């Protein structure tokens, strides 16, 4: 079966420094993969490549049969809208919009009618247990709540691939546990997951496969 | 101190764009201010400077030679209070017409041996000074325009009835306009000069006439003129533009203050994190404040200096042309005082504007400053954002519309700058259109595209070309009208008669114009009163009323040749200042056997003017003065208005640019989030542009009435200063289309100012943007 994500000899250089030094990696549909490694090892760069947020210096990134190198900026944006959901360490919510509007935003970008988008957003917020906080602004939400809003937003357009960049990194242990449960549940219902994390517990609880990263290379596939 | 200086220098280097914006805004603002102030100075000072250079006469007095002797008059130059006197000069009134190729009646000739002298030294603009009898130097008259090209006065001759012709050897400018021409004293005697002229320069310019005439026989003074009359005449047209320059200057200052405030406070706000780091390192509040003031003052200093230089260059270019166009002596440029004032004023403004946010920066707690950006901000204008989110507008558009509400202070300053920019553009357009409307009214281009003066060009001139063909026999008025009508391009002909005339109490000679169909308005715009309805009525221009000291309803006793008639002034029209319009019957009573000698013709659109003029010459004969109306607005005025408007619009645009740069910097992370969710670069651009276009639209809607009000208020004032009353129609120059376009000027300022940073926002690298704090 063709992998959902296929990176082949991907290099990313910033001047003299190689953030990725020839990474080859495949992720199957429904798989949960955790990438671990020290700071500056290239984990986030890898995530950016898969999300189409950055372009490799050489090598290819193919997601759901789409070679990202062949897409221009607008096409990459459309690719992200439809196929990628992203969860960030620091949540990256728009401070000026309440929780519900932050979630709806993703659907509005693909032209979903507001009513339909609102229904879907409420469904997600209810599933994630924060429907009662839908009108709260990010500044008054707890870290865990913010991250759940972030996850809801990421799932809004039913992405083929959910990318999570250290999703528990800014959370207290209780909120971290909630997010881990959430990601685990999502994977169990078939959501493909690629996470970058420093959190050993997250990797062991949620990932089918853990990849160790150092100096821009895959050094070890732990599981 | 060294650390503060080092930090400020490093900040200047690191924030290249911000530094550049501050520098450019300050430069453009300073240049606009210097230009405006420089032009104010140009209007008045050159006359005073020229007056002082040639020791002009504060008082010019004409004496009746039958009542006083030359010795008595010489003694008046020595009375206390008189610092210098010239004369007595013998004077005569020379009767001649068509001396310059245009109508002229009589002028005062003064017998003067020396071009220089203690008072009113004459400045030659053409030719040389008198070398002996038979020569004449005429006064410089900027209004003289020869019908067939530029006037070359030197070499022409003036024939005077019963006397030897006089050869023009020079053209001279008298700052006090003490005479129409000068001849040698011997020539003056030959011209039977029997009156005298004395020129006085006083210690106190306001010294009354009685100071010098006390003790002279009654009736000895036949006329007098203070220097204020020629000064007013020389600076009249220049003074007309003062009110609108004041408006431009005020708008320039307001916009400059707003933009500088916006730029500087933005620089401080965007550097809050940096402030925290400095404090954590041990900088005192005073050092932080000092570093921020220095950071802004450095580019401010360079901008001020550049602005002064640029303003001087522009002022030199414009005031040189302006002086020429307005008949004022050439200006010396912007004075050092103005330069110093603009430099110090703008720099002080920059510093004071910086101090407010810099002091705030100094007072910030280190912890608060260091954590700026890391913690989630409380959202701003949340209700507006929520309302916009619920609209059916495309999301980038609704997000863009919400953006200005997030920073109300910055938005208000930008909005005000755009509003004043639009007000300036509106005012400038109104000014130009009113001037054009006035010009069209004065030219009556729709009624008199071509004017034909069948009076011979040089009836008294001896400079006639011997090779020139003999003149065609004169045609009667009716024959001429028929001949003109026979030309296929002729649409309409109005026949009139023009006769040189004088009137008691009116200093200059003028012409009486009588149309055969005098009860038709012939395209004259009425500024006040009503058009002629019957015999004995007259219509004159506002300038004529002013110089003649008359008003509507007054009676003017007009002398044409040897005969007189009384005319009741019923209309103030927009027209030539040396014309009195009356009806044919009234003139026929004064000049029996009246024949038309002047024709105003409307030709078909697209007619080749040269071919038409040639045709006119064919049918009427060669000895004609033919002119085509429609001089248009003076290019120097158009240039000046354009430069000032562009300057203000550019500064307003820079304000928008700066706001968008700051907003983009503030919103980098948000744009990164949107891009990570799938927003295209174009959608980000649309978001940013929408925010400023909306602001521009509101700015346009606020600025438009401001500009309209300024136009409505200032134009009549400007006209009045120039001795002109504007017809109401000249103020109604804005139509619905132009109003809509002017509102869109705000949109254009917003869009153009935002275009470049919007492009940057669209091209932001998402991964980098997401890491931004």
Q: Which residue has the higher pLDDT, A3 or B664?
A: A3
**Among A44, A94, A101, whose Cβ lies nearest the Cβ of B673?**
A94
CA-to-CA separations, B51 to B38, B123, B227, B475, in angstroms, rounded? 20, 11, 9, 49
Among candidate residues B633, B539, B553, B548, the one with its CA nearest the CA of residue B583: B539
Among candidate residues A220, A182, A216, A170, the one with its CA nearest the CA of residue A57: A216
Please answer whether residues B503 and B557 qualify as being in contact, where contact means their C-beta atoms are separated by less than 8 angstroms: yes
Please answer whether residues B445 and B630 qualify as being in contact, where contact means their C-beta atoms are separated by less than 8 angstroms: yes
**Among B376, B389, B683, whose Cβ lies nearest the Cβ of A95?**
B376
Q: Which residue has the higher pLDDT, B654 or B566?
A: B566
To the nearest whole Å, the CA of A96 is away from the closest chain B CA by 4
**Among B376, B672, B679, whose Cβ lies nearest the Cβ of A77?**
B679
To the nearest whole Å, the CA of A102 is away from the closest chain B CA by 10
To the nearest whole Å, the CA of A94 is away from the closest chain B CA by 6
Question: What percent of chain B clears pLDDT 90, i.e. is strictly above it?
Answer: 5
| Separation of alpha carbons B417 and B423, rounded Å | 10
pLDDT tens, residue by residue, B415-446: 888 888 888 888 888 888 887 787 777 777 66
- Give me the pLDDT at residue B156, please: 76
Q: What DSSP string runs through B258-313?
A: HHHHHHHHHHHHTTHHHHHHHHHHT--HHHHHHHHHHHHHHHHHHHHHHHHHHHHH
Q: Which residue has the higher pLDDT, B162 or B326?
A: B162
Chain B residues 373-432 with a CB less than 8 Å from chain A: 376-382, 385-386, 389-390, 392, 395, 402, 406
Buried/exposed B502-527: b ≥16 CB within 10 Å, e otherwise? bbeebeebbbbbbbbebeebbbbbbb
Cis bond leading into B88, ω under 30°?
yes
Beta strands, E only, chain A: 5-14, 17-27, 32-36, 58-63, 66-67, 84-87, 161-165, 192-197, 209-214, 217-221
SS3 assignment, position B471: coil
Phi and psi at B485, nearest 5°, equal: -65, -25
Please answer whether residues A12 and A57 qualify as being in contact, where contact means their C-beta atoms are separated by less than 8 angstroms: yes
DSSP annotation of A21:
E
pLDDT tens, residue by residue, B110-156: 888 888 888 888 888 788 888 888 888 887 764 444 444 445 677 77
Supply the angle between the helices B635-666 and B242-269 in degrees, to the nearest 10: 20
Q: Which residue has the tokens 């006390």?
A: B214
pLDDT tens, residue by residue, B203-226: 887 777 888 888 888 878 877 777
DSSP annotation of B629:
-
pLDDT band per the 50, 70, 90 thresholds, residue B468: very low
Q: Is A66 left (phi over 0), alpha (psi -120 to 50) or beta?
A: beta
Asked if B675 and A53 come within 8 Å (Cβ–Cβ), the reply is yes
Chain B residues in contact with A109 by the CB 8 A cut-off are 395, 674, 677-679, 683
Does position B68 have pLDDT exceeding 70, yes or no?
Answer: yes
Which residues are paired to B224 by β-bridges? B61
Beta strands B166-173 and B450-453: pairing type? unpaired
**Among B382, B406, B676, whose Cβ lies nearest the Cβ of A51?**
B676
Closest-approach residue (CA) in chain B for A87: B676
CA-to-CA separations, A32 to A4, B145, B249, in angstroms, rounded? 12, 93, 68
Q: Which two tokens stand for residue B765?
A: 């690298």
Average per-residue pLDDT for chain B: 77
Chain A residues in contact with B382 by the CB 8 A cut-off are 96, 98, 137
SS3 assignment, position B109: strand
Chain B residues in contact with A138 by the CB 8 A cut-off are 376, 379
- Give me the pLDDT at residue B143, please: 45
Chain B residues in contact with A139 by the CB 8 A cut-off are 376-379
Q: How many CB pairs under 8 A join A and B?
A: 99
Mutate to test the interface with A, among B378, B380, B676, B770 (most CBs of A within 10 A): B676
CA-to-CA separations, B34 to A9, B346, B641, in angstroms, rounded? 63, 10, 15
pTM over 0.80: no
Asked if B378 and A95 come within 8 Å (Cβ–Cβ), the reply is yes
SS3 assignment, position A91: coil
Q: Which residue has the higher pLDDT, B14 or B412?
A: B412
Which of A92-96, B69-73, B156-160, B346-350 shows the lowest per-residue confidence on average (mean pLDDT)?
B156-160
| Separation of alpha carbons B643 and B160, rounded Å | 50
| Separation of alpha carbons B444 and B727, rounded Å | 14
Among candidate residues B358, B385, B195, the one with its CA nearest the CA of residue B275: B358
Q: Give the length of chain B.
A: 773
To the nearest whole Å, the CA of A72 is away from the closest chain B CA by 10
A 10 A CB-CB count for B629 gives 17
- Those residues whose C-beta lies under 8 Å from the C-beta of residue B732, and which sit 6 or more positions away, are none
Chain A residues in contact with B683 by the CB 8 A cut-off are 77, 109
Please answer whether residues B160 and B95 qualify as being in contact, where contact means their C-beta atoms are separated by less than 8 angstroms: yes
Chain B residues in contact with A88 by the CB 8 A cut-off are 676, 770
Beta strands B490-503 and A5-14: pairing type? unpaired
User: Quick one: which H or E segment has residue B369?
Assistant: helix B366-370
Please answer whether residues A128 and A165 qualify as being in contact, where contact means their C-beta atoms are separated by less than 8 angstroms: no
Chain A residues in contact with B392 by the CB 8 A cut-off are 114
To the nearest whole Å, the CA of A129 is away from the closest chain B CA by 22
């Amino acid at each position: 079966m063709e992998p959902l994500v296929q990176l082949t000899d991907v290099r990313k250089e910033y001047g003299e420094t190689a953030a990725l030094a020839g990474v080859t990696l495949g992720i199957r549909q429904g798989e949960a993969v955790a990438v671990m490694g020290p700071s500056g090892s290239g984990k986030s760069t890898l995530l950016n490549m898969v999300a189409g947020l950055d372009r490799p210096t050489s090598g290819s990134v193919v997601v759901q049969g789409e070679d990202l190198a062949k897409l221009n900026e607008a096409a990459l944006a459309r690719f992200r809208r439809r196929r990628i959901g992203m969860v960030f360490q620091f949540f990256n919510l728009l401070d000026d919009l309440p929780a519900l509007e932050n979630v709806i935003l993703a659907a509005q970008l693909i032209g979903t009618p507001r009513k339909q988008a609102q229904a879907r957003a409420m469904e997600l917020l209810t599933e994630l247990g924060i429907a009662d906080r839908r009108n709260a602004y990010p500044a008054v939400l707890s870290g865990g709540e913010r991250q759940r809003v972030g996850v809801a937003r990421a799932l809004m357009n039913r992405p083929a691939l959910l990318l999570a960049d250290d999703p528990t990194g800014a959370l207290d242990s209780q909120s971290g546990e909630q997010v881990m449960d959430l990601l685990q549940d999502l994977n169990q219902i078939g959501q493909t997951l690629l996470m970058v994390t420093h959190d050993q517990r997250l990797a062991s609880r949620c990932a089918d496969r853990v990849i160790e990263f150092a100096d821009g290379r895959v050094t070890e596939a732990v599981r | 101190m060294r650390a503060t200086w080092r930090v400020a220098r490093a900040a200047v280097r690191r924030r290249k764009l911000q530094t550049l914006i501050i520098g450019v805004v300050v430069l453009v603002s300073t240049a606009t201010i210097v230009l405006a102030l420089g032009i104010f100075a140009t209007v008045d000072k050159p006359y005073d400077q020229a007056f002082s250079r040639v020791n002009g006469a504060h008082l010019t007095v004409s004496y009746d030679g039958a009542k006083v002797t030359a010795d008595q008059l010489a003694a008046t130059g020595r009375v206390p209070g008189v610092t210098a006197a010239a004369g007595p000069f013998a004077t005569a009134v020379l009767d001649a017409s068509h001396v310059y190729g245009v109508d002229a009646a009589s002028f005062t000739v003064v017998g003067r041996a020396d071009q220089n002298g203690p008072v009113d030294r004459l400045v030659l603009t053409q030719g040389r000074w008198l070398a002996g009898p038979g020569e004449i130097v005429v006064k410089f008259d900027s209004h003289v325009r020869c019908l067939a090209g530029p006037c070359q006065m030197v070499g022409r001759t003036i024939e005077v009835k019963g006397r030897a012709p006089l050869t023009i050897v020079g053209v001279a400018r008298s700052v006090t306009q003490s005479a129409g021409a000068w001849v040698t004293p011997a020539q003056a005697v030959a011209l039977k000069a029997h009156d005298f002229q004395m020129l006085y320069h006083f210690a106190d310019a306001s010294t009354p006439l009685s100071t010098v005439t006390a003790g002279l026989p009654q009736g000895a003074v036949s006329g007098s003129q203070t220097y204020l009359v020629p000064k007013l005449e020389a600076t009249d047209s220049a003074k007309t533009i003062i009110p609108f320059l004041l408006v431009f200057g005020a708008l320039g200052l307001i916009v400059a203050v707003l933009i500088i405030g916006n730029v500087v406070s933005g620089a401080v706000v965007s550097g809050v994190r940096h402030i925290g780091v400095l404090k954590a390192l041990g900088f005192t509040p005073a050092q932080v404040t000092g570093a921020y003031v220095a950071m802004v003052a450095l580019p401010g200093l360079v901008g001020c200096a550049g602005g002064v230089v640029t303003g001087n260059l522009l002022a030199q270019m414009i005031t040189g042309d302006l002086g020429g166009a307005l008949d004022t002596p050439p200006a010396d440029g912007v004075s050092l005082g103005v330069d110093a004032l603009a430099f110090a004023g703008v720099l002080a403004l920059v510093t004071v504007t910086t101090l407010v946010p810099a002091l705030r920066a100094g007072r910030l707690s280190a912890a608060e400053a260091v954590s700026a950006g890391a913690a989630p901000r409380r959202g701003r204008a949340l209700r507006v954002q929520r309302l916009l989110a619920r609209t059916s507008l495309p999301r980038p558009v609704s997000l863009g519309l919400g953006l200005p509400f997030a920073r109300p202070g910055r938005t208000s300053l930008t909005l005000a700058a755009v509003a004043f920019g639009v007000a300036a553009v509106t005012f400038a357009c109104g000014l130009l259109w009113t001037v054009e409307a006035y010009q069209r009214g004065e030219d009556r281009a729709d009624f008199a595209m071509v004017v034909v003066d069948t009076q011979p060009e040089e009836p008294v001139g001896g400079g006639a070309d011997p090779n020139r063909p003999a003149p065609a026999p004169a045609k009667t008025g009716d024959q001429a009208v028929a001949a003109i009508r026979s030309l296929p391009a002729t649409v309409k002909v109005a026949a009139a008669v023009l006769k040189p005339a004088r009137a008691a109490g009116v200093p200059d000679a003028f012409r009486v114009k009588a149309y055969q169909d005098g009860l038709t308005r012939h395209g004259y715009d009425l500024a006040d009163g009503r058009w002629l309805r019957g015999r004995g009525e007259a219509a004159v221009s506002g300038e004529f009323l002013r110089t003649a000291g008359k008003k509507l309803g007054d009676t003017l006793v007009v002398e044409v040749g040897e005969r007189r008639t009384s005319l009741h002034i019923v209309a103030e029209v927009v027209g030539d200042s040396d014309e009195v319009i009356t009806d044919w019957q009234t003139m026929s009573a004064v000049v029996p056997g009246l024949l038309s000698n002047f024709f105003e013709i409307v030709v078909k659109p697209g007619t080749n003017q040269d071919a038409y003029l040639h045709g006119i010459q064919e049918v009427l004969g060669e000895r004609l003065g033919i002119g085509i109306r429609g001089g248009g607005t003076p290019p120097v005025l158009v240039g000046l208005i354009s430069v000032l408007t562009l300057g203000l619009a550019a500064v307003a645009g820079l304000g928008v640019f700066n706001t968008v740069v700051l907003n983009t910097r503030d919103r980098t992370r948000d744009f990164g989030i949107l891009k990570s969710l799938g927003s295209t670069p174009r959608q980000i651009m649309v978001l940013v542009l929408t925010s400023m276009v909306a602001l521009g639209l509101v700015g346009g809607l606020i600025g438009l009435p401001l500009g309209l009000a300024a136009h409505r208020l200032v134009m009549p004032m400007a006209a009045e200063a120039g001795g002109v009353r504007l017809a109401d129609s000249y103020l109604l120059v804005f139509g619905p289309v132009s109003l809509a376009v002017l509102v869109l000027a705000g949109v254009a300022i917003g869009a153009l100012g935002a275009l470049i940073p919007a492009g940057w926002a669209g091209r932001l690298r998402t991964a980098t943007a997401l890491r931004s704090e």
